[in-house]
Amino acid sequence: MWGEEVADADPDVDDLLGELAYDLDFYEPDPRARAEDPSFFGEERLEREVRAALDRLRAM
């Protein structure tokens, strides 16, 4: 999703979704794999990131 532009998309929404997509690249469900790199995160942060993006979308 991120990196692709949609012709009729609101640029602010497009930026927000691009940022979310980038952040979600660091989600790793496996705790053992997550331990290999400090930039990986698990379920709790996944939920926080998605909720924050939804809150920002609602505020637009």
pLDDT confidence of residue 14: 86
pLDDT confidence of residue 58: 93
* Per-residue pLDDT tens over the stretch 1-50: 455 655 577 889 888 999 999 999 999 999 999 999 999 999 999 999 99
- Judge whether 2 lies within some domain: no
- Judge whether 3 lies within some domain: no
| pTM, entire model | 0.78
Written as six digits, the tokens of 1 are 């999703």
pLDDT confidence of residue 9: 72
Tally of domains within the chain: 1
pLDDT confidence of residue 25: 96
What's at 43, amino acid-wise? E
Q: Which domain holds residue 21?
A: 11-59
- Judge whether 48 lies within some domain: yes
Cα-trace Rg, the chain: 13
- Judge whether 6 lies within some domain: no
